[in-house]
A and B are shown apart, each in its own frame.
Chain A
Amino acid sequence: MTNILLRAGHVTRRFGTFTAVDDVSMQVQPGEVVGLLGANGAGKTTLIRMLLGLIAVTSGRVDLLGGPPDRERRRRLGYVPQGLGLYGDLTVRENVSFSARAYGAAEPALPPALAGYAGVLVREVPLGAQRQVAFLAALAHSPEVLVLDEPTSGVDALARAALWDTIRGQAERGAGVLVTTHYMQEAQQCDRLLLMSDGRLVAEGSEADIIGSTTAIAVSTGDWARAFAALNAAGAPVMLAGRAIRVANADPAELAGVLSAAGIEASLQPVPATISERMLMLSRQARAS
């Protein structure tokens, strides 16, 4: 298949005796935005580094644009790292110009939001604008594959929506986009999600597919502080949601037992879990096994 832009086939990477990525297969096609989620240490960064050709696979196979991720193919790739990869001591225009020349692309015009910063050193520009500069630099050569690490971390909701408009525009012109994120609202912007835990790909699909039938327990009670303390002391993964209490990954009968032993009246109701709660469950299962 020539139209798969990025593909990992049964990829494994070991560092000494530690298996960072364990038999992962995934792909990104033109026009789609794929979200890669996982706890710290889940293997996301190692997988990305293999996909980009920055480190070798221990076994398995990586294809970028139909072949090994070599220098020639990497020219057709755009990458925005979490640290943005900009030069703080160069101006906004110098950064964009440098990047465009490195890729042999025409220097892009600065959008109106950045025009006022053209001659300002990048390190003196607000974070939201820095993110826009990093995007502009990564997109000047119209990459066919775009890899973004936490693309909207730290910016306000309006700036985040603007960055996502740019990302979506890239997908609409045919690029394949791979986004790693810790931010659940960002995950919801993706077409498809991949969930990694302990080096393995443990779930794939839409948000609904990943959550599946897993539930959290909502605890309603007049005495939230005591209920919270009792459940917390019993080791339940408990969270406050306003004045309500949610428990991920718990047996309702067990919770009811803890509450009644503490003399607290409460009603328990299963509710659909969130992606974060699903991840918590998966990581607890991995730790237990």
Chain B
Amino acid sequence: MTYSVRSATVRFGHVLALDDVTVEVPGGSVVAVVGGDGAGKTTLLRALAGEVPLDHGTVEAPPKQRLGYLPASPGSWAALTVTQNIDFVAGIYGLAGDELTARRAELLDRSSLTPAAGRLAAQLSGGMRRKLGFIMAIVHRPALLILDEPSTGIDPVSRIDLWRMASEAAASGAAVLMSTTYLDEAERAAHLVVLDSGRVLVQGSYDQVRAGFAGVITRTDEPVRAEWAWRRGRVLHEYWPRADPAAGTTVAPDLEDIVIALSLARRNAVRS
């Protein structure tokens, strides 16, 4: 089963939050949406979850009871314990008795939260709190799992845990759509979507994105055209959209380079 948002346009007042965005999320895979603050990531996720009406376009999603959603907020109640949080949400989906006990134990174990089962959510570290939110989003085995920045501000070790949990959901057949500000995470997804000011800058598997990248990126100390250059460590990188570098050493671009180059191409085109 593939879920999707097609030709989606969403306006909030005069702000165009999504501009003709099409994203497909097939079952059994993780699709990552990456972009900065204000790129439209949350709006896209909420549109797929049916939380934001489209001004134009279509949404294909399972019914609410087959959907799991982790919002960008903590996604759990601070004054309830870990167990109470899980049981409350499970109850909404009609999960109870031995089935709930077994499911809860399994999820706590997989996320290393078993020792914290009796703690109030307010007393968890940032990483543990996100993992609890994840468990609550997935307790009813949703067909579509939507995760809004599950890993922002979380330490790298907890982030690996969260990524493993998302992979696990995909391996058992769920369609997973997650947003992130970390490009290295997006590289790991089966399919990545780069959003910039409400539009898709590029999408595909990381290999496809690399293969489809046009132009050349060079490494240099002194860029020829400052408006096409950016900082990478001690040196600068410069983008030549027509693959006609006048100076510098050609580098093999990573996702960070590609995203910056395409953002510059868009901005410089808009300006001229």
Contact = CB atoms under 8 A, between A and B. Distances in A.
Contacts of A164: 231
Contact of B36 (A82, A159, A275): A159
A102 interface: no
A155 B205 CA distance: 22
Interface residue tally of chain B, by bracket?
A: 35 or more
B167 A238 contact: yes
Interface string A159-171: 1111011001000
Contacts, number: 146
A182 interface: yes
Contact of B155 (A39, A226, A242, A248): A39
A39 B157 contact: yes
Nearest to B39: A156
Given A127-B38, A154-B36, A182 B163 contact: no
A184 interface: yes
Contact of A161 (B173, B196, B230, B267): B230
Contact of B256 (A185, A275, A283): A185
B263 A158 contact: yes
A171 B234 CA distance: 10
A224 B160 CA distance: 18
B158 interface: yes
B202 to A, nearest CB: 12
Contacts of A126: 37-38
B61 interface: no
A40 B158 contact: yes
Nearest to A161: B230
A280 B263 contact: no
Contacts of B182: 183-185
A232 B164 contact: yes
Contact of B184 (A41, A162, A185, A224): A185
Contacts of B158: 39-40
B250 interface: no
Contacts of B256: 157, 185
Contact of B183 (A157, A229, A240, A243): A157
Contact of A158 (B188, B205, B234, B264): B264
Interface string A71-106: 000000000001000000000000000000000000
Given A155-B36, A185-B183, 5 more contacts: A154-B36, A156-B37, A185-B256, A239-B167, A242-B205
Nearest 10 CB-CB pairs, A to B? A156-B36, A127-B37, A161-B230, A240-B167, A40-B155, A276-B156, A165-B231, A228-B171, A39-B155, A157-B259
Interface of A: 37-42, 82, 126-128, 150, 153-162, 164-165, 168, 182-185, 188-191, 224-226, 228-229, 232, 237-243, 248, 274-277, 279-280, 283
24 contacts: A40-B155, A42-B155, A82-B153, A150-B153, A153-B152, A154-B37, A155-B181, A156-B181, A157-B183, A157-B260, A158-B260, A159-B36, A161-B232, A164-B231, A182-B159, A183-B182, A185-B256, A229-B172, A237-B160, A240-B167, A242-B188, A242-B189, A248-B160, A280-B156
